[in-house]
C-alpha cells in the first residue's frame, strides 16, 4: 500500500512538472514522516525514497537512531524552541523552519565541525498563513543576509505553510508571493534557489509556482493518527 501511494505521488509530481514545462528532477519529494514508525520509513526507503521530514524532535531522534543503517537525509520542519537547537544542529541535514536570528545563530554555533554546513530554509509567514510561526515578510531581507553570512549554515531558500485552501487559483496566488519574496532577496555570493512549498493538498499549485521541494505526508502514509502527546 505504501508503494502504491509512493508511485501515485511520484506520478502526480511528474504530471505537475509536465503541465508547466519543468523537468521532474527539479522537484524533490520530501516524505513527511511525523507520527509514522521507523518501519514505515524503512518500507518507503525500499521504494527509493531517501529524504524524510520530521516535526517533533524527540520522536525524530528515536527514528534517526533506529535507522542509522540507512543512508537517509533528515529535514527538520517543525517549530524550533531555542533550547533545542543543539540537538537539531547535531542530527539533521536540513532545517526548513528557521524564522528568527537567535535560532539561526545558535544553529551555526552548535553545528559540529565534522559535519557539512546545515542547509537552511527561512520560514516566511505569508498572508493567509494560519499559524503564528514564520518570519514577517518585512523582516526577511535582514534575516536572510545574516543567515547567509553565518559560517556553519548554508542558506538554501524559503519555506511556507499556507492556510489550507482548496481553490487552485488562490493556492497559486499565495505560492507566487513566496516565489516573489525569494526573487526579491539580493544577497552577496550565490542566490538561494530552494522553494520548500506544497503539501498533499496543493502540490500541483506549488510546483506550478516554482516549488523545488514538496513536503508530502498524508498522500504517502495516509491520514495521521495523533498520539495525545502531539495535541
Ligand X SMILES: *Cc1c(COP(=O)(O)O)cnc(C)c1O
Give the span between the Cα atoms of 115 and 97, in whole angstroms: 20
Binding mask 88-127 for ligand X (x = CB under 6 A): ----------------------------------------
> Within 10 A of 83 (CB to CB), how many other CB atoms are there?
8
Question: Of 12 and 85, which CB lies nearer to ligand X in the complex structure?
Answer: 12
DSSP 8-class letter at 116: P
Q: Which of 199, 205, 206, 211 binds ligand X (CB under 6 A)?
A: 199
5 is a site residue for ligand X (CB under 6 A): no
Q: Which residue has the cell 516573489?
A: 180
User: To which H or E segment does residue 94 belong?
Assistant: strand 94-98
82 is a site residue for ligand X (CB under 6 A): no
In the bound complex, what is the minimum distance in angstroms from residue 203's beta carbon to ligand X? 8
Residue 34 and residue 75 in contact, taking contact as beta carbons nearer than 8 Å: no
The sign one gets for the Cα dihedral 218, 154, 23, 182 is positive
216 is a site residue for ligand X (CB under 6 A): yes
Give the span between the Cα atoms of 87 and 100, in whole angstroms: 17
Give the span between the Cα atoms of 57 and 178, in whole angstroms: 26
Binding mask 129-158 for ligand X (x = CB under 6 A): ------------------------------
Q: Which of 2, 32, 95, 135 binds ligand X (CB under 6 A)?
A: 32
User: To which H or E segment does residue 122 belong?
Assistant: strand 118-123
Size of the site for ligand X (CB under 6 A): 13
Question: Of 8 and 142, which CB lies nearer to ligand X in the complex structure?
Answer: 8
In the bound complex, what is the minimum distance in angstroms from residue 78's beta carbon to ligand X? 6
List interacting residues with ligand X (CB under 6 A).
Answer: 32, 34, 55, 77, 161, 199-201, 215-219
Amino acid at each position: 500500500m505504501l508503494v502504491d501511494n509512493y508511485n501515485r505521488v511520484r506520478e502526480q509530481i511528474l504530471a505537475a512538472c509536465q503541465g508547466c514545462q519543468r523537468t521532474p528532477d527539479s522537484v524533490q519529494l520530501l516524505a513527511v514522516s511525523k507520527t509514522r514508525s521507523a518501519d514505515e520509513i524503512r518500507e518507503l526507503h525500499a521504494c527509493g525514497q531517501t529524504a524524510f521530514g520530521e516535526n517533533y524532535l524527540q520522536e525524530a531522534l528515536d527514528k534517526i537512531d533506529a535507522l542509522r543503517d540507512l543512508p537517509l537525509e533528515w529535514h527538520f520542519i517543525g517549530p524550533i524552541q531555542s533550547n533545542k537547537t543543539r540537538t537539531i544542529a547535531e542530527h539533521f541535514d536540513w532545517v526548513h523552519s528557521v524564522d528568527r536570528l537567535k535560532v539561526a545563530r545558535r544553529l551555526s554555533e552548535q553545528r559540529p565541525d565534522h559535519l557539512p554546513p546545515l542547509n537552511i530554509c527561512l520560514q516566511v509567514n505569508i498572508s493567509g498563513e494560519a499559524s503564528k510561526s514564520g518570519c514577517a515578510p518585512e523582516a526577511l531581507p535582514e534575516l536572510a543576509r545574516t543567515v547567509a553570512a553565518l559560517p556553519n549554515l548554508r542558506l538554501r531558500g524559503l519555506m511556507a505553510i499556507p492556510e489550507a485552501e482548496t481553490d487552485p487559483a488562490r493556492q497559486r496566488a499565495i505560492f507566487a508571493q513566496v516565489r516573489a519574496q525569494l526573487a526579491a532577496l539580493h544577497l552577496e555570493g550565490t542566490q538561494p534557489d530552494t522553494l520548500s512549498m506544497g503539501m498533499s493538498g496543493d502540490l500541483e499549485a506549488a510546483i506550478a509556482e516554482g516549488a523545488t521541494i514538496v513536503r508530502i505526508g498524508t498522500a504517502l502514509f495516509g491520514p495521521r493518527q495523533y498520539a495525545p502527546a502531539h495535541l
